[in-house]
Every structure is written in structure tokens, then in C-alpha cells.
Amino acid sequence: MQKVVKFGGSSLADSNQFKKVKAIIEADSSRSIVVVSALGKRNKHDHKITDLLYLTGAHLKYGVDANQVFNIVKERYYEVKNDLNLDVYLEQEFSQIEDNFSKNIDEEYLVSRGEYLAAKLMASFLGYTFVDAKDLIFFDYDGKINENKTYEALQDILKTTKRIVVPGFYGSYPDGKIHLLSRGGSDVTGSILAKASEASIYENWTDVSGFLVTDPRIVSEPKQIKEISYEELRELSYMGANVLHEDTIFPVQELEIPINVKNTNCPLDPGTIITSNPSDKSQIITGIAGKKDYVSITILKKQKTPKLTVIKQVLDVLVKYNVNVEHMPSSIDSFSLIISSNEINKRLYEVVAEIKALNEVTDVIVEQGIALVAVVGRNMALKPGMSAKLFSIFGKNDINIKVIAQASQELSIIVGVENSQFEKAIKAIYEGLVK
Ligand code: ASP
């Protein structure tokens, strides 16, 4: 059975990285469907090609000379081609792109060239067949992937060639125009192709050996996550953990194809395995993530009015302003709305004024600067007393809890604290429950 392997930008930053990729692919002959990002940063101060292409597009749009920026892009690709002595006609490719340079250049086409050219180079280097994502990943006009058309196209291609390199991040609309996924979308391309080929595994190669239990900027050298379930990963990425693109899971989850996140620079490290049913029971906590800057709006209602009536009226206001609620803890005569500051942004005062004006509402209290911390772990459900332990850690560390929520299936416990106590809370939970 074949494996789908996706390499991120840092795994393709220069010819040396290309060589590491080749060694990885040649080490296992089942690594036959290869997806690549655009060239990434070679060091901290470098730029990602995708960013440079967006910048090129912005120059063109505003009528500013774009050549200087675009030349940096060209140099990066020429360097890889020349270092590796590849038979790819970059001159032709670049002049075709430059022929489209105008104020009205299609930005999606321009930006997709980063992946397109990376795949051209990689296919030549590996001796694999280049398959343009515009002929493989199909979107409907509403931007949704047309799975059937994509699967049929892949099956057709695999009839004649087994080893392919596909650019990630883009596909095409029914009229053939290029359409980009959102940033980081090559992860999704890999996942779609893993499903379409019914791959045994989807390997996602990056520059770290899998996921860490928590943010290393807050806890120094946190443990690695060995195994994680699809659902846990969703919870963690939703709560701010910087992992795979959030749409990566869906295609592979359906067929229960595991994802293995691996490190191109340390290929023997086992990395993190994402599956439907991880067997590892050794860790109670799988991961800790969180986000700052939530707003809590507490609504106090008249005692005689049924709570449901007021909740409905308040939710109508939120629907009117298109504001999403994260959590809604409640007590007998009041309930709170926990909303991300980004979400409510400039509409906060209008929303609060409308809620205050409701007949059944006696008062509204707004509190800003709340951080939510999510403690995620499939094994927590097996362990009574987890919440008690967690709250005693907060007590011992003098951290005031403002909100508590437990998600269904006991997969996560979410605690709200003041922004200023966010890092302290994560450190304390890690020390108390993970270390
Ligand atoms: N190159 C694109 C980005 O930087 C897509 C990707 O790498 O997945 O977002």
C-alpha cells in the first residue's frame, strides 16, 4: 500500500533540504505520492516564497515595480536547480509567469507558482512524474473540494504512473482557474490525496519531531506527544496550538488513515501519530493549549422571567451582529457569554447596548482580558478526580478561575483566567499534571 508524504516549506528551503527529502523517499519505496509546499525559510531572517509572491502581487496591484521582489523568488529556485543540476526549464516558467504581470494579475495563480515550481524541481530530482494540482484537486465554484472528481482524476493518473509529485495548496475551479486553499493548505492537499489513494498512512514532514504537549515558549522543553486522537488534535488546534491546518483531519479521519508528523532533519525520530483510537494510556494529559483575549459578558435577568426566554433574546442579538459564542456558563438568574475579542471586536458596545435595552435584563457586566486554557486528554475520562486535581493546582498557585467548562466525552477541561495569569496557569498545569 502506498504512503502519501507531504513536505513543508522548511523541508524544501534549499538544495540541502531537497537532498534530505530524497533520502527519506528513497528509504521507503511505498512513499510514492509526494506533496510539496513552496520553498520556506532557510533561517530565522529569511522569507517564505509564498509571502514573497503575495508581496509581488501587491506591488503589481499598486503599480509599484515588482521585479526586485520577484527576482528574489527567481534566485531561490535557480539556486536549487543549479545546485542539483536539474533539467527544469525555469527560464520558460518564469517568463510565462512574467507575461501575466499586470495590475489585474490573478493573485491566486501567482501565489500558487511557489508550490508549482517546487514540485517541478522535486519531480525532476526524484525522477517522479510531475502532476499539476490544477488537473487533480478540483473545487466547485463555492470553494468546496469536489471529492469525486478529484478521486477519479487520481485513479486515472495512477493507472499510468505510480510515483508522482504534486504541488500542495491549490487546485482549480470548473473553468480551470487556479484556486488557493487557505494558508498552510498543502497539509490539506496531502490529506485529500491520502484519502483518494486509500493510503496506508499520511506522513507530514516538517521541521519538528511531532507535537509538543504545550507551547515551548511558555514551558521549556515540554514532552513530545507520541499519540493523539483526531478529536484531541482538533480541540488543541482550535484552542490555539499551532499544529496542522485545521482541515487536515477530515479527509483521512473518514477512512481512519493515521497521520504521522515527522521531522525531515531527524527522520528516525518517531514523531507524533494521529489516529482514531490511540493505544497509549500512559499520559493522562495529551496537550495543553490556550488563547488570550476573550470577553465575558454576564447578563443578569429579572427573577420571574424564564432563563430560556432571555437566552433566546440575547442570542438573537448575537445572530444579528454575527458574533460567535465560545462558552455560556450559567446560574439561576444570570448567564455569561464568553466571546473571543477578535470576534466581537468593534461591535462590543453596540451588542452590549442592545442586550442592556432588553426588557427582561436587569444588568450587564462586561469583563475583558480573559484567557482560556484547555487541558485536553482522552485518558482523563478514565480517571476520577481530574478536575479536583486541576483546581487544587490553581488554588496552590494563587490563580483565580473565572470560567470553567468541560467539553463532552470529558475530552477537555477549559478554564478561564485573567490574561496576566495565562502563562503561569499553563506552567502550573504542566508541572502538576504532566511532568
Ligand atoms: N506555502 C503555503 C503557505 O505558506 C502553503 C503551505 O505551505 O502549506 O501557506
| CATH value at residue 318 | 3.30.2130.10
Domain assignment present for 12: yes
Which of 159, 185, 207 terminates a domain? The answer is 207
Domain assignment present for 273: no
pLDDT at 382 over 80: no
Strand order across the 403-406 sheet? 334-340, 287-301, 361-376, 412-418, 403-406
Q: Quick check: CB of 377 below 6 Å from ligand 1?
A: no
pTM: 0.89
State the Cα–Cα distance between residues 24 and 17, nearest whole angstrom: 11
| Helix-, strand-, coil-residue percentages of the chain, each rounded to 5 | 45, 20, 35
Beta-carbon contacts of 387 under 8 Å, excluding residues fewer than 6 positions away, are 406, 413
Domain assignment present for 250: no
Q: By mean pLDDT, which of 58-72, 288-302, 405-419 is the weakest?
A: 405-419
Percentage of the chain lying above the pLDDT 90 cut? 88
Domain assignment present for 91: yes
Number of domains in the chain: 2
Among candidates 366, 365, 361, which has minimal Cα distance to 311?
A: 361
320 and 188: one domain?
no
pLDDT at 408 over 70: no
How far is ligand 1, taken at its centre, from the CA of residue 38, in Å? 6
User: Ligand 1 atom closest to Cα of 189?
Assistant: 8
Average of per-residue pLDDT values in the chain: 95
Domain assignment present for 252: no
The CATH number linked to 28 is 3.40.1160.10
Which of 207, 228, 258 terminates a domain? The answer is 207
3-state secondary structure of 304: coil
Q: Quick check: CB of 50 below 6 Å from ligand 1?
A: yes
134 and 11: one domain?
yes
Domain assignment present for 186: yes
314 and 402: one domain?
yes
Q: Quick check: CB of 40 below 6 Å from ligand 1?
A: no
State the Cα–Cα distance between residues 371 and 426, nearest whole angstrom: 11
193 and 300: one domain?
no
202 and 292: one domain?
no
pLDDT band at 238 (very low <50, low <70, confident <90, very high): confident
Domain that holds residue 17: 3-207
Q: What is the pLDDT of residue 43?
A: 94
Going from the C-alpha of 268 to that of each of 89, 209, 277, 278, the distances in angstroms are 35, 9, 23, 21
Among candidates 402, 398, 342, 337, which has minimal Cα distance to 373?
A: 402
Which of 186, 207, 228 terminates a domain? The answer is 207
82 and 170: one domain?
yes
301 and 198: one domain?
no
Domain assignment present for 226: no
User: Ligand 1 atom closest to Cα of 48?
Assistant: 4
Domain assignment present for 51: yes
194 and 297: one domain?
no
201 and 299: one domain?
no
